[in-house]
Amino acid sequence: MRATGEGVEEIIRRILALRPGLTREAVERLIDEERAKAAGLLTREAAAHLVASALGVEGAGEAIEAKMRIGGLTSGLNDVSVTGRVIHVYPSRSFTRSDGREGKVLRMLLGDSTGVVSVVFWDERADQVEGSGVGPGRIIRVLHGYTRERYGEVELNVGRRGTIYLEPLDAASGDYPPVESFFREPGEIGELGLVNLTGVVVDRTPPSVFIRRDGGEGRVARLTLAGGGGRIGLVLWNDWVERLGDVEEGTRLRVVRGRARRRMDGSLEVHLGADSGVQVVERGVEVERWMKLGDLKPGMRGVDVVARVAEIGDVREFQRSDGSRGRVASLLLEDETGRVRMTLWDDEVELLREVEVGDVIVVEDGYTRGGPGPLSLSLGSRGRVEVNPEGVEAPPSARGTWRIGELREGMENVSVEGRVVDEPEIREVETARGPVKLATLHIEDDTGRARVSLWRDLADEAEGLKPGDWIRIENCSVRPPFREGVELSSGMFTRIIRGGGEG
């Protein structure tokens, strides 16, 4: 079916001139497809304009290019063109200018692999974006914008001279990160400042009234969001209380431009401000409360886990920089995914009086540390531990023994067996805490060979080892290789068991 009419012919000629790889038949087929998608409500000329827009052909006959990346934007640029994925669209707002004329403004967040920028559409362009129904996930191209700085951030403005194209056909979706990649989960929030956050509402507190400094009344409420193995508070102020105060538990939210702040107890929470945005993604979500030890990463907060006690460490006293005395001890926790050391400080050390190896413990509101050094779990300011709680199913134990060929850098608290290859080399090395005894040797099994570093008392135990001895090394860690191959290092809970194995 051929397109007719002077307007349509001009558009087709322009497309073919700027897209020589297309045939007339292909262009006409695209026009018919656009009309079919609109159930025939589009005229043929309107459909042709949509096809030209999607192919990146502007009305003046120029090819549309958007070579600038968002991360390269600076203030004071004119005639800026970028392509990106829509992250969030704010509601439009009408206003009155100083000369009495009415105006309209609409903001959105646009992102690519290099960064995120706030795009501001004015007047007719705001109407165009609003009328298009564009939402998060769509790819758009903006041409002939200009940049300026606002509150210390660069923003892209699109006025009458600017142009907007939805889903340009030469912009491959795979070249632009998915919407989810621009958001972090509660367990991943570890620093202050602006954050984009996604999580599921698992708790909420009713609004309360407070008196502002100017004597007026304000309102505040709090939601607790879970995800990524952690939880974080979302603080709603004033208008946000009205908008989100009745949101139900099990609702997944996306929060843009929240502000992570530190509470007086040291924990983090996210506050909604005037330039924040919130989108309801889905409802009725069931949240897995307990995180697996193998999924823990450094910098997580609000962590809840259920684990078995695999080992109990000794209590050590130390002196702080202010002269006060402190106490520290460790437990080695395990589930079917791995083992992690839990550090107890000062009064928390009393927990050691209540637990035995094999007990089940619940840790709520923990946080993780790591790098340099092994990953460790500690209690947050509002954290708590419960021993052998009723109604909580005990997790399976961690894997017993790993073959050397299965080990990967970064694995911690694993157990391996092997035959001693060479006589241990014993020496003294200097550390930040003074000289320490170190023994190094190699072990092997039928899958590979590993270099083993045994520190302090374990170095003494290694002195009697001979080539051919079969040993089991429990709770060691896989470190970056010294030269090549597998590098094992002892830790707080490492122990050597001689004999057994292959016999």
pLDDT band at 203 (very low <50, low <70, confident <90, very high): confident
pLDDT tens readout for residues 136-177: 999 988 888 999 998 888 999 998 888 888 877 677 788 899
CA of residue 34 relative to chain centroid, distance: 38
Average pLDDT, integer, range 18-39: 80
Decide which of 356 and 187 is more confident.
356
293-387 is a CATH 2.40.50.140 domain: yes
Q: Is the pLDDT of residue 1 over 70?
A: no
Nearest to 54 by CA among 78, 37, 70: 37
Nearest to 307 by CA among 296, 293, 318: 293
pLDDT value for 3 = 43
Decide which of 263 and 329 is more confident.
329
For residue 12, give the H/E element and its range.
Answer: helix 6-18
Contact between residue 132 and residue 140 where contact means Cβ atoms under 8 Å apart: no
Establish whether domains 70-179 and 293-387 are of one fold: yes
pLDDT tens readout for residues 292-334: 888 888 877 778 899 999 999 999 998 888 889 999 999 999 9
Q: Is the pLDDT of residue 5 over 60?
A: no
Q: Please report which residue ranges of 212-348 form alpha helices under DSSP H.
A: 239-244
pLDDT value for 372 = 62
Q: Is 348 exposed, middle or buried (0-12, 13-18, 19+ CB in 10 A)?
A: middle
Task: Output the average pLDDT for the chain.
Answer: 86
Superfamily of domain 70-179: Nucleic acid-binding proteins (2.40.50.140)
Q: What percent of the chain has pLDDT over 90?
A: 43
- Rounded CA-CA distance 440/464 in Å is 13
> What is the gyration radius of the CA atoms in the chain, in angstroms?
31
Contact between residue 20 and residue 11 where contact means Cβ atoms under 8 Å apart: no
Decide which of 58 and 466 is more confident.
466
Q: What angle do CA 38, 46, 14 make, to 5 degrees?
A: 130
Average pLDDT, integer, range 449-457: 93
Domain boundaries, the chain: 6-54, 70-179, 186-282, 293-387, 404-498
pLDDT band at 4 (very low <50, low <70, confident <90, very high): very low
CATH architecture of 404-498: Beta Barrel (2.40)
Instruction: Give the CATH class of 186-282.
Output: mainly beta
Q: How is residue 388 written in tokens?
A: 């052998």
First-residue to last-residue Cα distance in the chain: 83
Q: At which residue do the structure tokens 């839990």 appear?
A: 342
Q: Is 306 exposed, middle or buried (0-12, 13-18, 19+ CB in 10 A)?
A: buried
Nearest to 204 by CA among 232, 223, 230: 223
Q: How is residue 67 written in tokens?
A: 């070579």
- Rounded CA-CA distance 219/418 in Å is 65
Q: What is the DSSP letter of 63?
A: B
